[in-house]
């Protein structure tokens, strides 16, 4: 037989009542008779946050989808090359001048294709470097390895050497590379020096994109135009964020970056994002103050801001440790302030 627990009837009391006792969760002592025992709950903001989790789950093994598309691309390339060769031969058979003209056009097309492929490869390599820097920095924050932190700082300086906005920050950080600083502290110092101006600009970009989406979708007469504008604005925002943090994504790089952003958004709380958006809408009384179209515009703007915050996490070469992470509530306040100024 299991021991029955005694149930206390509901009652009201004041927190400053001397009979109310606040105890820790680990306290196993029994309260005195006539007192009310309250157990403190941990603050969610003070709970430890794992920083060593990868942005996306690592996929291992043979990817048959990639093999299929690589084989199809090879067949298309061979067929295109054979077609061009046959075309040039036919042009030479008709006229020598037409043959040389076709040969010149094919040479220019081949050169342009080579440049495009080189730019795409460079953009993919740049994005891969940023992702590896993010993971290495997260590992150093846990291991506190001084040598690894110096290597990461060197790679960060190489990544940011073309940004004139970071000239003073680079000089200040280089002056501390030979100091006796722990590995984790060096990563935090690099974040404060290099990422602080970039984070401010990233927040401005996300806020501007969210405001544009909110305004345009609020006055747009067609839902199709809303979808197209939100898609184009989101792509432009993610490309700007990637370039801000040192990435140079091309077409393939943008496809990969969009996959990472959407995957990161799903992993880090895609379900909770809708709840927070509803809280923002209800908390500011949007439903009571704005019309249906303006409310839809605000919601689209908040969704764009949420996507921008996920893009910052993916494109940023260092995890958020020394600097505060941009919050959706701050961007929501920017949207409301912009709306009030327009009214």
Instruction: Tell me the CA distances in angstroms from 238 to 116, 248, 293, 328, one per residue in order.
Output: 21, 11, 26, 17
Q: Is residue 17 part of a domain?
A: no
**Per-residue pLDDT, 268:** 56
**Per-residue pLDDT, 33:** 66
**Per-residue pLDDT, 271:** 40
Per-residue confidence at 111, pLDDT binned at 50, 70, 90?
Answer: very high
Task: Note whether 313 and 264 are within 8 A (CB).
Answer: yes
DSSP 195: I
Per-residue burial over 287-301, b if 16 or more Cβ lie within 10 Å, else e, is eeebeeebbbbbbbb
Residue with tokens 């908390």: 283
Tokens of 197: 């101006």
Q: What is the mean pLDDT of residues 151-156?
A: 87
Q: Which residue has the higher pLDDT, 341 or 144?
A: 144
**Per-residue pLDDT, 53:** 46
Percent of the chain with pLDDT over 90: 5
CA nearest to 255, candidates 106, 120, 71 = 120
Q: Which residues form the domain of 169?
A: 69-342
Task: Note whether 139 and 319 are within 8 A (CB).
Answer: no
**Per-residue pLDDT, 61:** 59
180 has pLDDT over 70 = yes
Q: Is residue 242 part of a domain?
A: yes
Q: Is residue 28 part of a domain?
A: no
Please return the burial class of 260, using the count of CB atoms within 10 Å of its CB with bins 0-12, 13-18 and 19+.
buried
Q: Which of 9-23, 39-53, 137-151 is predicted least confidently?
A: 39-53
115 has pLDDT over 70 = yes
Structural domains counted in the chain: 1
**Per-residue pLDDT, 273:** 45
Q: Is residue 296 part of a domain?
A: yes
For the chain, how many helices (H) and strands (E)? 12, 2
108 has pLDDT over 90 = yes
Q: Which of 19-28, 50-59, 311-320 is predicted least confidently?
A: 50-59
Q: What is the mean pLDDT of residues 211-215?
A: 84
Listed ranges 166-175, 203-212, 283-292; the one with the highest mean pLDDT: 203-212
279 has pLDDT over 90 = no
Q: Which residue has the higher pLDDT, 152 or 52?
A: 152
Q: Is residue 302 part of a domain?
A: yes
Residue with tokens 């040479």: 107
Measured distance CA(5)–CA(335) in Å, rounded: 52
Q: Is residue 39 part of a domain?
A: no
Residue with tokens 């004139």: 164
Tokens of 196: 């602080």
4 has pLDDT over 70 = no
Q: Which residue has the higher pLDDT, 180 or 96?
A: 96
Q: Is residue 64 part of a domain?
A: no
Per-residue confidence at 1, pLDDT binned at 50, 70, 90?
Answer: very low
149 has pLDDT over 80 = yes
214 has pLDDT over 70 = yes
SS3 content of the chain, % helix, strand, coil (to 5): 70, 0, 30
Q: Is residue 6 part of a domain?
A: no
Q: Which residue has the higher pLDDT, 2 or 322?
A: 322
325 has pLDDT over 80 = yes
**Per-residue pLDDT, 51:** 46
């Amino acid at each position: 037989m299991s021991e029955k627990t005694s149930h206390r009837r509901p009652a009201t009391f004041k927190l400053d009542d001397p009979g109310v006792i606040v105890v820790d969760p680990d306290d196993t002592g029994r309260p005195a008779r006539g007192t009310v025992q309250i157990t403190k709950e941990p603050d969610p903001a003070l709970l430890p946050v794992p920083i060593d989790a990868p942005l996306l789950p690592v996929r291992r093994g043979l990817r048959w989808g990639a093999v299929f598309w690589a084989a199809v691309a090879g067949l298309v390339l061979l067929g295109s090359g054979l077609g061009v060769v046959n075309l040039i031969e036919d042009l030479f058979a008709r006229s020598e001048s037409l043959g040389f003209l076709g040969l010149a056009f094919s040479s220019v097309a081949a050169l342009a294709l080579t440049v495009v492929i080189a730019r795409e490869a460079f953009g993919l390599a740049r994005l891969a470097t940023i992702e590896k820097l993010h993971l290495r920095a997260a590992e150093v924050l846990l291991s506190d390895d001084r040598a690894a932190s110096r290597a990461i700082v060197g790679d960060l300086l190489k990544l940011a050497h073309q940004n004139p906005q970071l000239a003073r920050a680079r000089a200040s950080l280089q002056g501390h590379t030979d100091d006796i600083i722990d590995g984790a502290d060096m990563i935090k110092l690099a974040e404060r020096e290099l990422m602080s101006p970039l984070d401010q600009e990233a927040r401005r970009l996300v806020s501007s994109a969210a405001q544009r989406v909110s305004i345009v979708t609020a006055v747009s007469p067609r839902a199709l135009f809303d979808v197209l504008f939100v898609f184009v604005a989101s792509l432009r925002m993610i490309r700007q964020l990637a370039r801000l943090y040192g990435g140079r994504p091309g077409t393939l790089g943008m496809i990969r970056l969009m996959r990472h952003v959407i995957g990161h958004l799903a992993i880090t709380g895609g379900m909770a994002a809708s709840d927070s958006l509803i809280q923002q809408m209800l908390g500011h009384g949007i439903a009571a103050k704005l019309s249906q179209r303006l409310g839809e515009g605000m919601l689209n703007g908040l969704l764009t801001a949420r996507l921008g915050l996920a893009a910052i996490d993916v494109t940023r070469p260092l995890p958020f440790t020394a600097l505060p992470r941009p919050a959706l509530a701050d961007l929501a306040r920017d949207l409301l302030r912009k709306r009030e100024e327009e009214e």
